[in-house]
A and B are shown apart, each in its own frame.
Chain A
Amino acid sequence: MLLLGSVVTGRPRRFGPRSRYTRAMLGYALRRMAGIVPVLFILLTVSFFVIRLAPGGPFAGGRALSARTHAELEQRYGLDRPLGAQYVAYLRALVHGDLGPSYSIRGESVGALIAAGLPVSATLGAAALGLALLAGLPLGLGAALRRDGLLDRGLAAFAALTLALPSFVTGPLLALGFGLWLRWLPVAGWQAGAARYLILPAVTLALPLAVAIARLMRASLLEVLNASYIRTARARGLGRARVLWRHALRPALVPVVSYLGPAATYLVTGSLVVETVFELPGTGRYLVQGAIDRDYPLVMGMVLVYGTLTLVANLGADLLHAWLDPRARHEPR
């Protein structure tokens, strides 16, 4: 059917391994993926030196150590060597997948800590993103279809309010309301697989995202619906629903999709707060605590994980964007 359609309209085939479409997409994807590596490398390098230049060291504060123990510890972790040598050693271990030992959490490797915490953080992030899309897209759609209607005005008011509600305010308030007063949901904590523990954190994290997505969807759909090709489609006698699904939705989704990159960055920083508020055993707590304790390998591990995550998410959003909007493929910004 697709083949026939393309013959009739004289357009090149859009799918299949050899079509121009696929080749252009693939080239674009490869170009962009190659762009991630240097950024990540720069991020790691800068972090490596910045955290070591900061005053204090991993074994300086806290317990009073004899000069000898201190020197022994430094030697054991290679901290007595020149910075350059430490840097090379770190990179060499990293290439072999070794993130090093944690200085502050005894007997744990950074890799193991991340492996234990990341599933929790990832579950939270995925749940929040899913929730935000599930709530935001239909809301925006509804608001755009009935402009200045009840839903539209409600959304505008709600959006103004959520802009003023950072997650470290909504989190405790939701926990207070639904956890302590109504006693519907647990206030904090985590039990693997128990959805009850996921609801409040995910809602807290998803709320600003859902509103942002709804507003974007509304604005872009309104713009698309005003375009002349939509009028043409209507004039050809297509029904409203068909025009909406077949012609308006795809271009209207473009801004929403490009927002997914910043959204990922938001999710990463937001999860920090939410994990703190709801005491989830994710990776978020390691960043702050690691930085305070001067636990260099732990901080580096967190920078690596969250840096990769945001960069890959941004890339994913751009690829989706390119798939939806062919113009974006040719202009590598």
Chain B
Amino acid sequence: MPGSIRERVMSRGEARSRGAMRVGAALIALLALFAVAGPWFSPYSYRALDWRHLAVPPGLIASHWLGTDALGRDLYVRTLYGLRLSLVIGGLASAVSVLIGVSWGMLAGWAGGRIDAWMMRVVDVLYALPYLFIVLILTAMLGRGNLTVLLLAIGAVGWLTLARVVRAQTLSLKRREFIEAARATGLSPRQILWRHVLPNLAGTLVAYSTLLVPQMIVYESFLSFLGLGVEPPRASLGSLINAGARQMLTAPWLLLVPAVVLVVLLLAFNLLGDGLRDVFDPSGR
């Protein structure tokens, strides 16, 4: 294949991915704005029961713009609250994952040798386990509806891939001259890792943690869907979808509205994350 054609294809693909990235970022900003400010525009709260308007379809009736559920709770407000929760949990759980994954990966990569082999073996074993099952058991037992448990549990699932990526990068950074120079000036390993290795991982970290957020959102929704996440009257996108699926014959909007919001949210994060990965880590898949 002649080089020129290949270059043109690459650059076109690159341009497309930059565009997709912008769309993703814009969508996230828009959704976040809505999640924060949207509920102010409705006269209802997420837990208020409107007895005169039970299971109303979307429309202009009594400013229930997206309809109500069987208890008369406003779906517009509840969906935005669910979105808020998804964003917060997605962000915080990703932070937990990043913290574990980066520490584990950097330590393994820096230590090398037997410690590295052992630490990566742990990651391999955890990879092969249906890890989500363990999380599921843990959340079921340690407290349904307890947000801290939920956060830690799903955060603990996401770190494996990141640990591998960070370890590989640390291994290759370790052999570079500037690290040797840092060592020669007498810096301690902690200082080197903190000031010289970590900043060089920043790009990769940004890309992978952006990709982690949608994963964490899915895990949270998954747990809420199974009835292990947030408890009523609070709502998350997952629990709303679950509730909607039970009444889809009589009130399909209860399923469709939160489902569409979740899909758009995930799509936006994936677009942004994929784009960022292409920029910072061209080798990654």
Q: Do A and B bind each other?
A: yes
Contact with B along A32-57 (1 / 0, CB 8 A): 00000001000100010011001110
Q: A166-B221, A175-B248, A273-B222 are in contact. Are A54 and B128 (CB under 8 A)?
A: no
- B245 contacts partner chain A, Cβ-Cβ < 8 Å: yes
Among B50-58, B71-79, B181-189, B259-267, the stretch in contact with A: B259-267
B-side binding surface: helix, strand, loop or mixed?
helix
Known contacts: A172-B241, A273-B225, A292-B144. The answer to whether A261 contacts B130 by CB under 8 A is no
For A269, the chain B residues whose CB sits under 8 A away are 130, 132-133
Given the complex of chains A and B, what is the CA–CA distance between A154 and B259 in angstroms?
23
Q: Which of A50, A165, A268 contacts B263 (CB 8 A)?
A: A165
CB distance from A249 to the nearest CB of B (A): 21
Q: Whole-angstrom distance between the alpha carbons of A269 and B131 in the complex?
A: 9
Q: Which residues of A contact B141 (CB under 8 A)?
A: 50-51, 54-56, 291, 294
In angstroms, Cα B193 to Cα A64, docked, is 57
Q: Mark A158-196, 1 if CB is under 8 A from B, else 0.
A: 001101111011011101100010000000000000000
Does B28 have its Cβ within 8 Å of any Cβ on chain A? no
Given A172-B241, A172-B245, A277-B245, the answer on whether A268 and B267 have CB atoms closer than 8 Å is: no
Interface check A217, CB cutoff 8 A:
no
**Set of chain B residues within 8 Å of A277, measured between Cβ atoms:** 245
Nearest A residue to B238, CB-CB:
A168
Q: List residues 120-175 of chain B with CB under 8 A from any CB of chain A.
A: 124-125, 127-134, 136-138, 140-142, 144
What residues of A have a CB within 8 angstroms of the CB of B244 in the complex?
A: 172
**A168 contacts B128, CB within 8 Å?**
no
Residues of A within 8 A of B222 (CB): 166, 168, 273
B238-A160 in contact (CB<8A):
no
The answer to whether B245 touches A47, judged by C-beta atoms less than 8 angstroms apart, is no
A265 pairs with B241, CB closer than 8 A: no
**Residues from chain B with Cβ under 8 Å of A276 in the complex:** 225-226
Query: Is A256 located at the chain interface by the 8 A CB criterion?
Result: no
Chain A residues within an 8 Å CB radius of B133: 268-269, 287, 302-303, 306
**Is B204's beta carbon under 8 Å from chain A?**
no
Question: Which of the four size classes fits the interface of chain A?
Answer: 35 or more
- Picked from A50, A160, A294, A302, the residue with its CB within 8 Å of the CB of B271 is A160
A287 to B226, CA, bound (A): 11
**Is B37 part of the contact surface with A, judged by Cβ < 8 Å?**
no
B contact residues around A168 at 8 Å (CB): 221-222, 225, 238, 241-242
Residue of A with least CB distance to B245:
A172
Chain A residues touching B, majority SS: helix
A47 contacts which chain B residues (CB < 8 A)? 134, 137
Q: Is A333 an interface residue, CB under 8 A from the partner?
A: yes
Using known A-B contacts A176-B248, A277-B245, determine if residue A292 contacts B130 with beta carbons closer than 8 Å. no
Q: Assess A50 versus B137: contact at CB under 8 Å? Given A160-B267, A176-B248.
A: yes
Chain A residues with CB below 8 A from B255, complex form: 172-173, 176
Which residues of chain A from 81 to 129 have any CB-CB distance to chain B below 8 Å in the complex?
none
- A291 & B130 in contact (Cβ 8 Å cutoff): no
B203 at the interface (CB under 8 A from A): no
Let me know if A291 and B242 touch, CB within 8 A. no
Q: Which residues in window 237-255 of B have CB below 8 A to A?
A: 238, 241-242, 244-245, 248-249, 252, 255
Residues of B within 8 A of A204 (CB): none
Distance between Cα atoms of A249 and B109 in the complex (Å): 35
A211 at interface by CB-CB < 8 Å: no
CB distance from B243 to the nearest CB of A (A): 11
Report if B218 contacts A (CB, 8 A).
Answer: yes
Find chain A residues with CB under 8 A from B60 CB.
none
Let me know if A72 is at the binding interface, CB within 8 A: no
A133–B141 Cα distance when bound, in Å, is 37
In contact, B136 and A291 (Cβ under 8 angstroms): yes
Provide the bound-state CA to CA distance between A302 and B137, in Å. Answer: 10
Contact of A169 among B127, B130, B249, B259 (CB under 8 A): B259
Cβ-defined partner of B226 (8 Å) among A43, A272, A302: A272
A56 to B142, CA, bound (A): 9
Q: Is the CB of B270 within 8 A of A164?
A: yes
**Are A288 and B252 in contact (CB-based, < 8 A)?**
no
Which B residues are CB-close (under 8 A) to A260? none
Q: Give Cα A160–Cα B269 distance, bound, in whole angstroms.
A: 11
Instruction: Determine whether the beta carbon of B129 is less than 8 Å from that of A307.
Output: yes
The yes or no answer to A148 lying at the interface (CB within 8 A) is yes
A176 and chain B: residue at smallest CB distance? B248
In B88-133, the 8 Å CB interface with A consists of: 124-125, 127-133
In angstroms, Cα B266 to Cα A166, docked, is: 9
- Nearest-neighbor residue (CB-CB) of A293 within chain B: B140
Q: Which residue of A54, A161, A164, A226 is within 8 Å of B214 (Cβ)?
A: A164
**Would you call B30 an interface residue if the criterion is a C-beta within 8 Å of the partner chain's C-beta atoms?**
no
The complex places the Cα of A109 from the Cα of B110 at a distance, in Å, of 50
Interface pair B262/A169, CB less than 8 Å apart:
yes
Query: Is A244 interfacial (CB 8 A cutoff)?
Result: no
Query: Is A22 part of the binding interface, using a Cβ–Cβ cutoff of 8 Å?
Result: no
What distance in Å separates the Cβ of B193 from its nearest Cβ neighbour in chain A?
A: 26
Residue numbers in A under 8 Å from B262 (CB-CB): 166, 169
With A51-B137, A172-B255 already in contact, 10 other A-B pairs whose C-beta atoms are closer than 8 Å = A148-B9, A160-B270, A163-B270, A165-B266, A176-B248, A219-B285, A273-B225, A287-B137, A291-B140, A307-B129
Q: List 6 A-B contacts (CB under 8 A).
A: A50-B137, A51-B137, A54-B138, A180-B249, A219-B285, A310-B130
5 nearest interchain CB pairs? Answer: A291-B140, A54-B141, A164-B266, A172-B245, A164-B267
